[in-house]
Amino acid sequence: MNLTIRACNAAQLPTALLLEADPHLPYVQAYLADGHCYLAELDDLVVGLYVLRARGPGILELMNIAVVPNCQAQGIGTQLLQHALHSARQLGAMRLEVATGSFGHQLTFYQRAGLRVYAVEPDYFLRHYPEPLFEQGLQHKDRLRLAIDLN
């Protein structure tokens, strides 16, 4: 198993995989326009991706990170996140931020990597997404912002 993660242009990212992590296409298209895009391939097959975007001076945000469903729970997401942390440092960022729901496996995924909650955005998913988002039978309402210092 030979996982390769490489920079790419936005057009090379599979839309269906981007939508696995963020189901609202207009939002995805907006951040792809000026994002740093990365593709993960396993023996020449696309298995994952992530997108970084400048949020402010010295701050990058992880806008999207996704692994194809049949390759999840194999450590690929963790490798992508570690690569994203490394790439953010290489791009000169002092801090990496991410926004996610207030519960679910994504939250613990980021916390295991050392990201910590610094803000809660009440009713974010209710106000910004046209369709309700559910996970484990619960509707996402609030969004959490997490960050890690990279120095």
For residue range 80-139, what is the model confidence (pLDDT) as tens digits?
A: 999 999 999 999 999 999 999 888 888 999 999 999 999 999 998 889 888 888 888 888
Statement: 3-149 belongs to CATH 3.10.20.30: no
Give the whole-number percent of the chain exceeding pLDDT 70: 99
Q: Alpha-carbon distance 70 to 66, whole Å?
A: 12
pLDDT at res. 1: 63
Domain segments of the chain as ranges: 3-149
- CA dihedral sign, ordered 144, 145, 150, 151: negative
Mean pLDDT, to the nearest integer, of 49-62? Answer: 96
pLDDT at res. 134: 84
Give the chain's length. 151
Burial status of residue 62 (CB atoms within 10 A of its CB: 0-12, 13-18, 19 or more): buried
pLDDT at res. 98: 97
Which tens digits make up the pLDDT trace of 26-40?
889 999 989 999 999
pLDDT at res. 93: 96
| DSSP at 104 | S
